[in-house]
Structure 1
Amino acid sequence: MRKILVVGAGQSGLQLALGLQSNGYEVTLMSNRTADEIRTGRVMSTQCMFDTALQHERDLQLNFWESQAPKIEGLGISVAAPGSWAEGPAARAIDWVGHLDGYAQSVDQRVKMAGWMETFAQRGGQLVIHGAAVGDLDYFSRTYDLVLVSAGKGELVSMFARDPERSPYTEPQRALAVAYVHGLGPRPEHPEFEAVRCSLVPGVGELFIMPTLTTSGRADILFWEGIPGGPLDVFNGVKDPAEHLSLTLELMEKFTPWEYARATKVELTDAGGTLAGRYAPTVRNPIGRLPGGGLVLGVADVVVANDPITGQGSNSASKCAAAYLASILEHGDKPFDEEWMQATFDRYWETAQHVTKWTNAMLAPPPEHILNLIGAAGQIQPAADRFANAFNDPADFENFFYEPEKTEAYLASLA
């Protein structure tokens, strides 16, 4: 029986550990927190998983919350008229919603990771509650057939060198601020179905609103992405959750009044329902070298960390776990050497490269042809639907998004 160590108990690490476990591998999972500490702690993320990523969970029968979590059937884009907020609340220049072919869902990672961790232990997996350091891995690399590092923060990440060719940014491109709330009203335009809403405020940043399932039931996530140094970059050092929420709402009233209108009665889901921070999007070399000569393989955010502006983090983590699981199962009892590690990452990069390209494009000011595309989607429903479904399969953006000629040809084909 092959022995595998997974360090880090997020979406990718747990999905991979549970998948290996169900295939008869002897798996040890290291987490720096217990399931209870995760469940009662602070929110860790925003997440909206689209159909392909949800299917990876279904395939492993890990979709424990599918019947409870809101079914997200659309993805809407609004764009504020540039400069319209100078005199008062912003005005909308564009507003549309695209329909998803398969619904999306969001489950608070506190709920999911705690539940999955308990399942892993109940199924006989070895769960070690311990924050791992590089020295620990040096020892473990000699006792396990394979060590996978899926802890995306902290000292372990430093083992994986930044890939400058695939990492155009050296600084964070957005200041992030998240609040989980109860009491958000429905959108008046389409109250009959749930949708993720993205409001773009040119030169200022973006607001995302997504329905979710949290520890206290159905909720919504209010998520600001502010251009650093701009009017949304005001959450640094805000420790009080109530102050965080009131800042979130003040900014909505000014920059996205169409969303603020349904948020006048919201309250935080819990004292841990806020989060703020920022990081530079980075792609890293997937193989970490230990002082004693052992090799470890980086997983998901450790090797490809994109800004959350395109909502791909948990999707990418799920797709990475699925690709790595397939590579491990196919490899049989051959050694997990450097060549195999590189090939395993390359297999994941085939999907991840499209996410990285699209996310980095969305962090930059949009060129004219993209604004034309987003505007046209307000008049042409198939364009709105295609844009929405590309969140599930970002590779499709290659066909109609990056090059003005392809965008014009696509829009002409619909006219």
Structure 2
Amino acid sequence: MRKILIVGAGQSGLQLALGLQSRGYEVTLMSNRTADEVRYGRVMSTQCMFDMALQHERDLGINFWESQAPRIEGLGVSVAGPDGSRPIDWVGRLDGYAQSVDQRVKMAGWLDTFAQRGGQLVVHGAAVSDLDYFSRTYDLVLVAAGKGELVSMFERDAERSVYSEPQRALAVSYVHGLGPRPEHPEFDAVRCNLVPGVGELFIMPTLTTSGRADILFWEGIPGGPLDVFQGVKDPAEHLALTLELMERFTPWEYARATKVELTDEGGTLAGRYAPTVRKPVGRLPGGGVVLGVADVVVANDPITGQGSNSASKCAASYLASIVEHGDRPFDEEWMRQTFERYWETAQYVTKWTNAMLAPPPEHILNLIGAAGQLPAVANRFANGFNDPTDFESYIFDPSKTAAYVESVAASSTS
């Protein structure tokens, strides 16, 4: 039985731990918090997982909340005009529904499951010196803790990292009491509200510790009018600021938010980080090596909602690579190949996300505008959030974008 240590108990670390556990590996998981500390703590993220990522959970039989979480059947895009109008406003339908489960619910539940199934759970923050010791007693050490000292072991990949500074200031509120969008009250959708030159507001239904809720998520261009959450400690003040900005920049969303209240005192989050791709092998002072997982090695901005999706896909890819490797040593070359296998698809997420952070070029604006008249374009764009590799074929090259829109327009009139 091969012994594997996973440091970090988020989407990727826990999914991988449970997957390896089900395959008979002896897995030790290091978490800096107990399940109850996670469950009753502050929200850790936003998350909207699309069908491909959800399927990885189904495959492992750990989709415990699928029947309870709202089914997100569409993805809508609205673009704000200078006068509070919406010159662009449409919704595309997803082929397979998406879902959001508050990570406090999911990670606490998965931690309990891992322990109940006989996994060794060590509740302790890990330092590089700890890993130096552990690397000699385990066949493989995986680092899935995307923040803190351990990330510094992984060198930034300058060729694959477009940005060196944060591109958005992030502010999240989990709320009860949000009304439906009056134009589409019959199904749940993620709403992407683009405010040119200012930032974005994302709204998504979720399952939280107190049941059904919605997430209000501002992404502000640094230094702009949305970059005002730093230093705000009081949750009520955080929500009031969120709503004030909604009233100013997205009045159509504010209209359904006039009666919202926070789900709990831990229902807010603010911060920023630089989107970064890192080299996958971390070197320890004693000569050992460890493999980085998910956002340790590929950290994208949340603007495209891919964080938990990428974490799930990375865990699934790594699980396959580990199992296929059999009893051979997990050396540096294997680590690099394992990461490159994941990067084959992850690179498209990074390319798309980095493109969305920049001011949109004319052909993208034309595409988003055309989606308002052509449901097939809206649907394809929406489903790209499930499988971002599809964007490569029509979204980055202006001539391909134009040809695609023309072909859809022609077929819709014929």
Q: What is the 5 A alignment of 1:40-79?
A: 40-79=40-79
SS at match of 1:127: strand
The gaps in structure 2 that reach 5 residues or longer are 410-414
CA distance in 1, matches of 2:205, 2:98: 10
Indicate yes or no: 2:237 matched with 1:243.
Answer: yes
The one-letter amino acid of 1:27's match is V
Indicate yes or no: 2:112 matched with 1:124.
Answer: no
CA drift at 1:351: 1.1
SS at match of 1:259: helix
CA distance in 2, matches of 1:281, 1:137: 25
TM-score, structure 2 normalization: 0.99
- Residue 5 of structure 1 corresponds to 5
SS at match of 1:178: strand
Q: What is the 5 A alignment of 1:11-410?
A: 11-81=11-81, 83-84=82-83, 90-410=84-404
CA distance in 2, matches of 1:93, 1:200: 11
SS at match of 2:159: helix
Deviation string, structure 1 residues 159-191 (Cα, Å, up to 9, x no partner): 000001111111100000000000000000100
The gaps in structure 1 that reach 5 residues or longer are 85-89
SS at match of 1:165: coil
CA drift at 1:400: 1.1
CA drift at 1:140: 0.3
CA drift at 1:23: 0.2
SS at match of 1:15: helix
CA distance in 2, matches of 1:153, 1:412: 45
CA drift at 1:128: 0.1
SS at match of 1:402: coil
TM-score, structure 1 normalization: 0.98
CA distance in 2, matches of 1:412, 1:248: 39
The one-letter amino acid of 1:47's match is Q
CA distance in 1, matches of 2:344, 2:209: 35
CA drift at 1:399: 1.1
CA distance in 1, matches of 2:125, 2:62: 25
SS at match of 2:114: helix
CA drift at 1:376: 0.2
Q: Percentage identity across aligned positions?
A: 86
Aligned length: 409
The one-letter amino acid of 2:212's match is R
- Residue 87 of structure 1 corresponds to none
Aligned-pair Cα RMSD in Å: 0.4
CA distance in 2, matches of 1:93, 1:232: 21
CA distance in 2, matches of 1:398, 1:329: 30
